[in-house]
Structure 1
Amino acid sequence: MELFFYAVPGVMLVAFAFAAQRLVRRARRISRTWADGLTAEARCLRMYTTTSGGGGDTSVHTTLHHVYEFTTREGRTVRFAEENGPATVLEGDFTTVRYLPEAPERATALPPAPGKLAAGTGCLLAFLGVAAAFCVGFMVLAHTIFAESEGLMP
């Protein structure tokens, strides 16, 4: 029984650490793409929305998606999808995309916004840190309770 109070928060801590690592890698990749990436002209092939949430008493969240296609400097045609792009880009429009030569399939059509990227990444890292601290606190509290109760148990 005692193991349960250590295993579950321990697994959660591992998941939080993995999420934080992925979040930082994503932010670094996007930042590097904006700073050092090559540019190309891309065409918006498709624009669509997805919704999530139940409606009724709960809010519905709509996400805008774009599918772009561009040709790299080496002549390779690349198609990629991106969420939360500008609503002003419609099907058939041309826009500038940035990509890293080693990973053109991870291109972005979002305009550079390093402050917004840093703020979003920082907020998510803070949330993960608070959740991790809660797990550690829970484990310490569980250890304290189990240590005190051992002398009282027959």
Structure 2
Amino acid sequence: MEAFFYVVPSLMIGIAVFAAVTVVRRARDVSDAWNSGLTAEARCLRTYTTTSGGGDSAVHTSMHHVYEFATREGRVVRFDETGGRGTIVEGDIVTVRYAADRPERATANAPAPGRLAAGTGCALVFFAVLVLFCLGFMAVVHMMFEVAGDALP
């Protein structure tokens, strides 16, 4: 029974750390694409939405765009991006930015480094608070089990 109070928070910490690494990696990829100076004209091949939640929880809908473009070397790249402008529809031509060494991690979002930093920072603060809460919970549970163990005959 005691292990349950350590395993669940440890799993939550692992998930939070994984999510934080993912957020930082995507922010770095977008920043690299913006800073590379390489642009290309891309065609929106498809738009679709994904929905999560429902029932007793709020419904969250995310918009996705699938783009295709050719790099300067002539390589055709197709990528899927979440959270683009809702006004882009299939067939539209947009400017994408990409890093030469990783064109598949391109972005059609206009450069907004302040917004990217703020979003990444808020996400990291959330994950840090979650980790600290889990560690505090485990410390309190540990102390409670020690006190209960000392009280037993």
Once the two structures are overlaid, the 10-residue window that deviates more, 142-151 or 42-51, is: 42-51
Partner residue of 2:106? 107
The CA deviation at 1:113 is 1.2
Secondary structure, counterpart of 1:92 in structure 2: coil
Task: Note the C-alpha offset of 1:35.
Answer: 1.1
Q: Does 1:25 align with 2:25?
A: yes
CA 1:51–1:139: 2 relative to 1, 3 Å: closer
CA separation in 2, counterparts of 1:138 and 1:61? 29
Q: Deviations over 1:18-56 (max 9, x none)?
A: 22122112111211111125111111122233333437x
How does the TM-score come out when normalised to structure 2? 0.89
Listed as ranges, the matches of 1:42-61 within 5 Å are 42-54=42-54, 59-61=58-60
Q: In the alignment, what sits opposite 2:84? A: 85
How do residues 2-151 of structure 1 correspond to structure 2 at under 5 angstroms?
2-54=2-54, 59-151=58-150
Structure 1: runs of 5 or more not aligned = none
Q: Which residue identity lines up with residue 13 of structure 1 in the other structure?
A: I
- Secondary structure of the 2:54 match is coil
Cα distance between partner residues in 2 of 1:87 and 1:15 = 30
Aligned-residue sequence identity (percent) comes to 60
Superposition RMSD in Å:
1.9
**In the comparison of the two structures, how many residue pairs are matched?**
153
Q: Is the 8 A contact 1:71 1:77 kept in 2?
A: yes
- TM-score, with structure 1 as normaliser: 0.88
- Say whether the 8 Å CA contact 1:37–1:101 is kept in structure 2: no
Q: Could you tell me how far 1:99 is from its partner in structure 2?
A: 1.0
CA–CA separation in structure 2 for the residues paired with 1:8 and 1:128: 16
